[in-house]
Amino acid sequence: MKYKEITHLSHPHVLVLESAEEPYQCDGCKEVGFGPCFKCETCNFNLHEECAMPEPSAFHHFFRKCDFRFYENAPGYRARYCDACGKDVRGFVYQCLHEKAHDLHPCCMKLQRTLIGDGVKLHLSDKVSTRCLKCGSKEISKGFRGWSYESSCGQYCYHVACVKNLVLENWRRGYFDHGHNTMALQIMAPNEDNIVQQTGGSSSGRRKASKYWRMAKVALTLIISAIFGDPTTAVATLIASLLSS
């Protein structure tokens, strides 16, 4: 059953499910969101669907020995970070019961295991074998890989953290406010040199390169949709131009 209106302990007014036309910051987990959200029509208060209706307890297949509990604020006094994306935990969170507890943002907890679209199949992984097409590395930071979506063929891989950063930085630079097409970031492609060398610049080589970028764009679109929700027109325009250099 899909709820259209809810009440939430963190807010005094009724929250209505709407499709946000612009990016918003979730007042639960403090992460960015797009698409459907529960919004207060009286004041500027928004919640991801995952934050608005969390499960009291949860399980994740990457942590088979962990029993997660939902908290509006992580227990303890030290700073926490999400084991999926590496970003700080600043609000709603799922935390396991172990002494050295794992933490997951609600939206990261709910990430789909498999994404399929337009000839691309991606799997959520915590142990990737391919470099991320954005940062060019297997690790987000030294000693921390985080989660990635990787294609079945192994050619297309993006860190969840890198995709979050890509959209967030463009938002902060005003892309969504002004609708301009000047990209703040570039998408790296470690395999591009191999494609050029193997094809020698032939017409068939150009077709292979074109297909490579098209599939990378499809992969990126699927991942942005999985992380942030259904793309708005502004997000779709951003995706369309990310790989068009």
Token couple for 141: 């930071």
What does the pLDDT look like over 36-52, one tens digit per residue?
889 998 888 999 999 99
pLDDT grade, residue 226 (50/70/90)? confident
The structural domains of the chain, with segments of one domain joined by +, span 5-52, 54-110, 114-242
pLDDT reported for residue 205: 63
Closest by CA position to 157, among listed 141, 136, 133, 138: 133
Q: Which residues partner with 117 through β-bridges?
A: 120
Full DSSP string of 207-224: HHHHHHHHHHHHHHHHHH
Dihedral angle sign, alpha carbons of residues 106, 104, 148, 87: positive
What does the pLDDT look like over 174-213, one tens digit per residue?
665 544 443 333 444 434 444 444 445 566 666 777 777 7
Token couple for 201: 């610049």
3-state helix, strand, coil in the chain (%, to 5): 30, 25, 45
Cβ contact 182:166 at 8 Å = no
Task: Provide the whole-model pTM.
Answer: 0.81
Fold of the CATH domain 5-52: Wheat Germ Agglutinin (Isolectin 2); domain 1 (3.30.60)
Q: Distance between CA 122 and CA 113 in Å, rounded?
A: 8
